[in-house]
Structure 1
Amino acid sequence: MTGAVIAFAGLLGLAVGSFLNVVVWRVPRGESVVHPPSACPRCGHAIRSRDNVPVVSWLLLHGRCRDCDNPISARYPWVEATTGVLFALTAWFTGVSWVLPALLYLVAIAVALALIDIDTKRLPDAIVLPSYAVGLVLLTLASWNPGGEPDWAALTRALIGAAALFTVYFVMIIVYPAGIGFGDVKLAGVLGLYLGWFGWGSLLIGWFAAFLLGGVYAVGLIVAGRAGRKSGIPFGPWMLLGALVGIAVGEQVWAWYLDVL
């Protein structure tokens, strides 16, 4: 049963990844993600259904548009494949669980927001703000756990975590406004919601991992001569990656840390 869920999640991720390509392109431009249908950005021809199969169509077309023969960026199949792998790994991590839909949603917005932040250095409200409501509904379902034992303490932690992480980032932007943007503050509340649901250790490790990973990346860029100390580096992707680390291993790492102390 779990294997079937993992396989289904992977296939679902491929399809969601195809949609995320549209989201990443259109949302920063204020365009609808449902209309008009996807088209070649160079010749404008609508993409045929048979040419819209995730990853496979790009390979069969040798990475070129059927109509104008112009190259199609390899980023499109990369996003589809990556989302499929992440969905499958998420299903493997949770197994058959009511928290799976909540985490799949988080993975989907993480892929979209990370790419948009890299491209535009923005975290669009159109994705972040609805995620408070969607995340709360899905995590409430996970706490209710129909057919099993409810865990309302997890939902309470989630609400506290959202408020705590939002507040921490809000204070940070007041103290050092050049360090992060208000988009990061709004995203922090969403991530705190998820991290708090999984536990206090997940919340703390997820918060710390974002700065650790982002700092290591920034230092690497400086050492490589690709950035200076005042270069602006999008922090959203590191917040998202840190949250995934917190969810995956935060409780274990926190327990280990307490044992060492």
Structure 2
Amino acid sequence: MLLALVGVFGLAVGSFLNVVISRVPRGESVVRPASRCPGCGSPIRAWQNIPVVSWLLLRGRCRSCREPISVQYPLVELVTAVLFVLVVVRLDWTWSVPVYLYLTAIGVALLVIDLQTHRLPNAIVLPSYPVVAVLIGLAGWGEGDGTALIRALVGAAVLFGAYFAMALAYPGGMGFGDVKLAGLLGAGLGYLGWGELAVGGFSAFLLGGIFSIGLLLLKRAGRKSGIPFGPWMIAGAAVGFAAGGALFDAYLGLI
């Protein structure tokens, strides 16, 4: 029952993330005006805002003008709900759950925005620093784990510093949006453990490299093609969160 409630909460958050994804890149408020059809401007009524269900009932079209409604909307809602449940399953009911639910939510929004615009908006990333700092501080206090707080600080500093150095060395290949996101991901991974930090940081380059090589082999991109790296940073962090400790221990066992 509790996991089902988490899933419902994730659907609601996913619905809000659709607003964030649509408006933040354009510099618009996520609060006002109320949601409207981008085609005809008709206000979206309350029953039309029920996550996933409304899209299915409307058959993916605006009730007024019949313009198609992107499948992105229910997908973002569903993915957010599933990820929220997986976060709770991974961590159980601990003080650190709010940290990773928040990072999951902004991760979903940033991933979609970066794919669409090749940007990681400061309006999402920068305010997340104090939010994550407070949530991690509360988690460390509640769990009585000062060492985890130190790891979070070190993780943020290490990933931020590494990405900052890469951005300076190769400005065309690494943006400062990636640098700012790296600090947040480093804090979250570091709080969990050194293995999660190492695997999460490395997985971003591994996954991004495999994808880039695949595009080159398929001739869908050239050596100078711009490929957003934020989604791979987020995917790598997800790998570190889900299995970083076990993978790191297995690697140490091999050597």
State the TM-score, normalized to the length of structure 2: 0.98
TM-aligned CA deviation for residue 225 of structure 1: 1.7
User: In structure 1, what residue type is equivalent to 2:205?
Assistant: F
Distance in 1 between residues matched to 2:222 and 2:6, nearest whole Å? 41
Aligned CA RMSD, in angstroms, stands at 0.9
**Count of residues in correspondence between the two structures:** 255
Q: Does 1:197 align with 2:194?
A: no
CA distance in 1, matches of 2:3, 2:46: 26
Distance 2:22 2:7 in 1: 23
Matched, 1:79 2:76: yes
Matched, 1:34 2:28: no
What corresponds to 1:123 in structure 2?
Answer: 120
2: distance between equivalents of 1:77 and 1:13? 12
Quote the Cα distance in structure 1 between the aligned partners of 2:91 and 2:195.
18
- Give, as a single letter, the amino acid of the residue that structure 1 aligns with 2:36: A
d(CA) in 1 for partners of 2:12 and 2:230?
A: 24
Aligned with 1:43: secondary structure? coil
Partner of 1:19: 16
Distance 2:40 2:167 in 1: 44
In 1, Cα distance between the equivalents of 2:150 and 2:3?
A: 29
Q: Are 2:210 and 1:216 aligned?
A: yes
SS in 2 for 1:47: coil
Note the residue ranges of structure 2 that are not aligned, 5 or more in a row.
none
Give the deviation of 1:137 after TM superposition.
0.9
Q: Which amino acid aligns with 2:247?
A: V
Pairing 1:176–2:176 present: no
**Unmatched tracts of structure 1, length 5 or more:** none
Structure 1: distance between partners of 2:66 and 2:167: 47
Contact persistence 1:39–1:47 (CA under 8 A): yes
State how 1:78-97 maps to structure 2 within 5 Å: 78-97=75-94
C-alpha distance in structure 2 between counterparts of 1:110 and 1:7, whole Å = 22
| 8 A contact 1:201–1:254 mirrored in 2 | yes
- Give the C-alpha shift of residue 228 in structure 1: 1.1
Kindly report structure 1 stretches of 4+ aligned residues shifted beyond 4 Å. Answer: none
* CA distance in 2: counterparts of 1:225 and 1:82, whole angstroms: 30
- Structure 2 distance, partners of 1:85, 1:139, is 23
Counterpart of 1:61? 58
Q: Percent identity?
A: 60
The one-letter amino acid paired with 1:165 is: L
Residue 210 of structure 2 aligns to a residue whose secondary structure is helix
Q: TM-score, normalised by structure 1?
A: 0.96
Superposed displacement of residue 254, structure 1: 1.0
CA deviations on 1:76-96 (whole Å, 9 max, x unpaired) are 111111111111111111111
1:9 corresponds to which residue? Answer: 6
Report the AA paired with residue 118 of structure 1.
L
